[in-house]
Each structure stands twice: as structure tokens, then as C-alpha cells.
Structure 1
Amino acid sequence: MQRITLTVVGGGLAGLTAAVTAAEAGAKVTVYEAHHTLGGRARTAEGPYRTNEGPHALYSCGPHWTWLRQRDLIGPLAPVPPLEAARLRLRHKGALRRTPPFAMLKLLRRTAQQAPVDVDFMTWATEQAGEEGARAAANHAAISLFHHDPGSLSAAFVQERLRRTAKLPPEAHHPRATSLDAARRLLGDDSLAWDSGRTALVDLAVRTRRGDAFAVSDLDAPGWIERRTAQDRSLAPAGEQLLQGQIPIAPHESRADGVARAEQLLDLAFAGWRERVTWRREAVAQGRTGAVDLPGTSWRDRPAVDRGDGVYLAGDQVAAPGVLSEVSFNSALTAVSLALGRHTLDLKQA
């Protein structure tokens, strides 16, 4: 029987998932990657400060977790120590606090009403918990959205991500795909477009100080800063802590605007950080933070995986369910299933 040959363009999470799945099914697979290392934006920078290349995470309760475990593809994980998890801080009304506003808690309950697809989150959440709670919840959801105005997105879309990101201990794990923009250029298909976030990234190394927060979530505006070495001390040299900030910015805002907001959070949660800085890096991630669904749309409305003529699209902005990297994983499995199914059909007809 003729052996099926598949070509995978891009060695990110979607590309690698597709390649492994296809190879296990007996296909001959070739992976092309422009970067000198694999991993996409799940890559970790080299050097003494091991930062993420871009915002990405694996959620331990997601559909890909079992798949990875079965293949022994989950490396060592550093869970958040209980003491560190207790140091989660929230900025609300300009002050640092330990607990979210009561109105926001209404939206985090498992028994909360299922949000609709065709209404924006702020409108729906305001009806459920009032404007203050709705705004705080929307801003907190930006942890997994990287969007400057989470309240304007589909209520169902934001609610799912809010429930996942609000769990303690956190589900998200940061591991040690071809974007729609790249696919649009490669395939010459202008229809390959979908809304995404734009995020200012601030990476800092600071000298260790007892009492620093584990993470601070901004409920006044979208934004999040995490002390990554709270989970894994190997990410920075001894005596230093690695902080990573992700501040969504609007189309009209500059990197400097996002950095200024990050510094406000740092001032609240990390006393004396300016005098403790040993290393710093700033960047903007645009079109690399996954899809966001506007009211009236869901993942089913995003660019389809099957592009015709034997071309299949996988990544975190295409028509597949899940949160962040789960979209890459699910779309990769769908792409391989469709590709192998089509090839099998062609062989039977030959």
C-alpha cells in the first residue's frame, strides 16, 4: 500500500502535534520551521533569564493533557507552592487587595448562568452582577485573552476563559504554529483573518526580596504580572527573581503606554523594584495571542481547518474549540484526521 506523505509548515505546538499524530498513523512527515529551534512561541529564551518568547500556556485540565501524558511528552512541572498561591494580589480601585470584589465572585461561581454567544460580556455580566463586578471580571479575564477590551467580546467566549483562569491553584503551565498572517501570505488567501489581541510584554529580573507577590491581576484595566520564579527558580540566577508582565493595549496605544501601566502594577506589588532591577526587556506581541470572538461569533466562525486542495490549517486562531494552546492542539488533530481520511479515500479510488 502506498505510504501517505504529509508536509507540515511550522514547528509550533500545532505543527508538532500534527506531525506526531500523522507519523503515529503511518504517514511520512516532513516539518519545515523558519526558526533554528522548534516550539513556536512556546519557546523559552536562552541565557540566564529563561523568559517566554510570547504569551502561551498549557492548561492541565485541557483536552490535550491526556494526549501528552500518553506519549510521555510532559516535562517536569513546577506547581505553585501553596504559600506563593496565597500571594496572589488584585488591583481594584487603585489599591492592592487580596480578594476580588464580592460582585465579581458571583460571575465565578460554577452555578452562574451560562452566558450567551450573541451578547457582549459587559452587557450580560452587568445584568448578572452589576457594572463594577462585570468590569473587574472582564479585566481579570484578560489573563487568557490578551485583549485591550475583554468586555466587548462574546459573553460565552469570555465566561469560559474566566472560569478556567480563576481557578486556584492555577491550571496554566508554561512549557519549556503558524500565525494567520503567515498563512495568509503563504497561501495568498485574504480570507485568513480573525481578531486577536495586542499585548505589551515586560520582562524583568530583580534581586530577591521576601514578601513579593506571586502575581498581581489588574481589575481596573486589563493586565497581569507574574513572578515566574515562584514556580521554577531555575528561570533566573540565584538571588534573582524573574517577573513577566502582559498588558493588553488598544490599537491606538503604544508600547510605552502598556509599559507605563505595567510599572504602576509593579509599584503596588513589588516594593523597591526599580532599585532591584538587574535585567529588563520589553516587546509588543501582535496577532500572536490567539483568537478572540466578538458577539455573535464562536470558534466555528473562524477560518476553517480544511482550505481545500489538500491544504489544512492548524493554529490558535482557526475553527477549533479550546483555550489558548488547546485551539492549536484540537485544530492539529482535526487537520491530520481530515488529511489522512482524504488520502485514504483517494487511494481506494485509484
Structure 2
Amino acid sequence: MPRLTVIGGGFAGLTAAISAAEAGARVTLHESHHTLGGRARTAEGPYKTNEGPHALYSGGPHWTWLKQRDLIGPLAPVPPLEGTRLRLRHRGALRRTPPFAMLKLLRRKAELAPVDQDFTTWATGQVGEEGARAAAHYVAVATFHHDPGSLSARFVQERLRRAAKMPSEALPRALGLARAGDTPLPVGGWASVIDRMAARAWNLGVRVETLARVDSLTDTGLSAGPVVVATSLDSARRLLDDGSLRWDSGRTVLVDLALRSRKGDPFVLSDLDGTGWIERFTAQDRTLAPAGRQLLQGQFPIGPDETKADGEARAERLLDLGFPDWRGRVAWRRASVANGRTGAVDHPGTTWRDRPAIARGDGVYLVGDQVAAPGLLSEVSFNSAIEAVALALSGRLREGGARRPGATEPWVEPSVKPWVDLKSA
């Protein structure tokens, strides 16, 4: 059987390990932490929060893949009444509906938006300045960027249509941080999905080594054969000593807040006057917090010159509108900054095809949410992992082929890139 090494045990790494093992490869996975999950790890303690933003959208190919393998588990449906309490801050007040001009943008097909023009310019020409600005701020929930209007119109419009779709596709930050709408989410959030993926990898014979940091591809502990690097782009740049592995991402303040329970709290607050989002996740899954407590999680993208305090101040202003008595109900609070850990953003003139390539040569493949694969947020991680394994296992060992550092036999890259049918993967 072919051998394959995966470096990184997050969502992308586990996807690669499972798909390779299902294809008959002997897989070893190295994870530098003592637990698997990457940004999908869930904090220990009474409040089940993630260590970073991520999202699953049920319309993506990874949802079908997970469902086929029974890796999602029990779903917690949104209570009908709770699902109606979406509030939008617009012109300084909370409203139930977005500006009509913003709704008009949802009718525009994403493929008609230009790649080489920024979203604000294009959308203003379509529906006017107010609708363009509101739409750009709303879509921050699917970009984690402080100024989505400055990004490629094609990139933003695709995310706007999916983030505002009714019924929504997104599973929120109990699974990541995105729009909840009326889509059910797996009970226990990301951790439950990761645990099932780890169990499937184990049952398929994947050798999982935790606390196994890999600093070089010449490490003697690596098996011969292709290597899938499923780390952050920063870590991959150091590991592969490749300064070209760069792509812009977002920078956002993550706010976690537990309040003493009270009836009538809104389900979601979205800031159309700025970029910010707060969601009450215990409305869907009571297991995320102790009895009598409501778990709120929010994200507030910040610019290069802004600080965590700036993001927290914006969160407090939005909380003052939606939860007027929140300060007297606080039972627990935490805030952190996610810098460059929120997926790729494409500037005008670029698409996902311009990001760092999956195939790096010499039997090395790069996967994650900032590489050259299509999709929204974690879909990029999934798509790149499936593609990397397809490429790796289609190569053949031959005399005279390219040699990966540390490998005992040469490795020849496949001559034809087999972009797989991800819907049937």
C-alpha cells in the first residue's frame, strides 16, 4: 500500500487522512498539540467555545461528505420562535429587516460581479451607496474582514448570497462563527465533529501521533512517500522554507460572553453600520453552557491600526442595543484576537486560483483555507485536502523521479491534475 504523511490534525488534516486511508493508503498523521482539531478545538470548562473562527455551510461539498460517513451526529434544531429574532443595526437603531437596496443585491448572480473591481464600487452602481455599504458590512460574517467592500466584487457577492440565503446554510460558531439562520447544528459543536472524524481515522488504521511537532521534511520520523502539509500558511512557510506562501486573511476580535438567562433575548445581532456579529448559541444547543446561562459569541473585524480594545468597544455598543441589561447579567467573559486565521480573502483582480498552489513539487502538497481551492471558509480546507490526496495517490514511484527530502525513493508528480468531483468524493 502507498504511504502518505499528514502534518497537522485540524479539519483539513483529518479530511486528508480519512480520504487517503479510504483509498487504501497507509497514513501517519503528526499533530504538534496534545489534541486534534486545530482551530476547531473546543475549550475545556463549562462554556463550550472554540479556539478560533470557522464555519460549516450545509450547501458545501464537505457537508455531504460528512453526512455520508455519519460524522455530523445528532442535530439541535433552532426553536421556531428563537429563529425569528434576528436584529440588524442600521442607522443607529435595531431593525427587523435590512434595507431594500441590500435585498436587491441578493438577486444579482455572483458570477456577474466583476473580479477586477472592488465590491463597494460595483454594488453602488447596482443598488446605490446605502445598500452597498449595508451589504458589505453584513458579509463580514463570512469574511472576517474589517472592510469587505474593498475586496473583489466576485468574492464578496458569492459570500453575500450564501450568508444571507434563506433558509440559511451556515452552522454557527458552536461549529464556527457565521450566520445561524434556521439551520440545525450538531450537538456539542465542532468538538463532536472532530471527535467523530478522529475515531473514523483511527478505525481506518491511520496512525495518529500527537505532541509530534515536525520542523523539517528531513525529519527521520517521516515515512517515505508524499506529504500533505495541513498547517496554517505561516507554519507551512517556515516548514517548507518557502517565502512565497503568503495570502491575505482577516483580523478579528472574538468575544465570548455568558449571561444569566432571561426570556426575550435576540438570537442574532448584525451590525450594518459597521462590521460585527453577535449570536446566542444556547438558543440552539443548551449543552454549550450550564443551566441558567446563555452563551453569546461574537466577532468584530478590526483594521491594521486597531486593537483588541477597539473591537471589544464595538461589541459593547452592539450589546447595549440588543441586550440593554447585559452588564448586570455577565457571568463570564473572554476576548481574543484571531490574526490571519480566518481564511483567505481575495482582493480585486485575484481569485482562488491565484492563491498558493496545492502541489508544491517533490511529493509535497499544501492544504488549508488559504490555498488554491474553491469554496467558502472551511470548504476551502476540505476541497484542498481532497484534491491533495487525489494528486498524491495518482503519482507513481519510479527510478529517476523527483526526490522528496528524506524519502528513500524518488517521487514523480502526476502529469495531469485530477481535479476530483467533490460532490461524489
Residue aligning to 1:40: 38
Q: Give the one of 191, 213, 238 matched to 2:266.
A: 213
Counterpart residue type for residue 153 of structure 1: L
Residue aligning to 1:50: 48
Distance in 2 between the 1:22 and 1:127 partners? 47
Residue aligning to 1:308: 361
Q: Give the one of 112, 122, 125 matched to 1:124.
A: 122
* Cα distance change on mapping 1:308 and 1:218 into 2, 3 Å: same
Residue aligning to 1:343: 396
Residue aligning to 1:91: 89
1:344 Cα offset (Å): 6.4
Pairing 1:66-145 to 2, within 5 Å after superposition: 66-109=64-107, 114-145=112-143
**Between 3-12 and 75-84, the greater mean CA deviation after superposition:** 75-84
Distance in 2 between the 1:109 and 1:52 partners? 34
1:40 Cα offset (Å): 1.3
Q: Give the one of 3, 6, 16 matched to 2:4.
A: 6
| 2:268 maps to 1:270 | no
Q: Give the one of 249, 253, 276 matched to 1:223.
A: 276
Distance in 1 between the 2:120 and 2:306 partners? 22
Distance in 2 between the 1:7 and 1:311 partners? 10
Distance in 2 between the 1:111 and 1:183 partners? 35
For the Cα contact (< 8 Å) 1:80–1:169, is it kept in 2? no
Counterpart residue type for residue 73 of structure 2: G
**Between 80-89 and 311-320, the greater mean CA deviation after superposition:** 80-89
Query: 2:287 aligns to what SS in structure 1?
Result: helix
Distance in 2 between the 1:111 and 1:342 partners? 38
Instruction: Quote the RMSD (CA, aligned, Å).
Output: 1.7
Q: Give the one of 248, 251, 256 matched to 2:301.
A: 248
Counterpart residue type for residue 314 of structure 2: R
Residue aligning to 1:318: 371
* Cα distance change on mapping 1:258 and 1:172 into 2, 3 Å: same
Residue deviations 1:143-178, cap 9 Å, x none?
010000000000000011111111233311212351
1:328 Cα offset (Å): 0.2
* Cα distance change on mapping 1:311 and 1:6 into 2, 3 Å: same
For the Cα contact (< 8 Å) 1:106–1:112, is it kept in 2? no
Residue deviations 1:199-245, cap 9 Å, x none?
00110000011111101111011110100111101100001000001
Counterpart residue type for residue 130 of structure 2: E
Residue aligning to 1:182: 235
Residue aligning to 2:254: 201
1:110 Cα offset (Å): 5.8
Q: Give the one of 160, 163, 174 matched to 2:161.
A: 163
Counterpart residue type for residue 7 of structure 1: T
Query: 2:396 aligns to what SS in structure 1?
Result: helix
* Cα distance change on mapping 1:304 and 1:339 into 2, 3 Å: same
Distance in 2 between the 1:84 and 1:299 partners? 36
Residue deviations 1:295-332, cap 9 Å, x none?
01000000000011111000000000000000000000
Distance in 2 between the 1:105 and 1:113 partners? 17
1:45 Cα offset (Å): 1.2
Distance in 2 between the 1:167 and 1:241 partners? 26
Query: 1:289 aligns to what SS in structure 2?
Result: strand
**Between 313-322 and 78-87, the greater mean CA deviation after superposition:** 78-87
For the Cα contact (< 8 Å) 1:49–1:237, is it kept in 2? yes
Report the identity percentage: 75
Residue aligning to 2:170: 172
Distance in 2 between the 1:171 and 1:113 partners? 19
Distance in 2 between the 1:334 and 1:344 partners? 19
Residue aligning to 1:333: 386
Query: Where does structure 2 lack aligned partners over 5 or more consecutive residues?
Result: 176-189, 192-229, 402-408, 413-425
TM-score with structure 2 length normalisation? Answer: 0.79
For the Cα contact (< 8 Å) 2:396–2:411, is it kept in 1? no
* Cα distance change on mapping 1:332 and 1:76 into 2, 3 Å: same
Query: 1:303 aligns to what SS in structure 2?
Result: coil
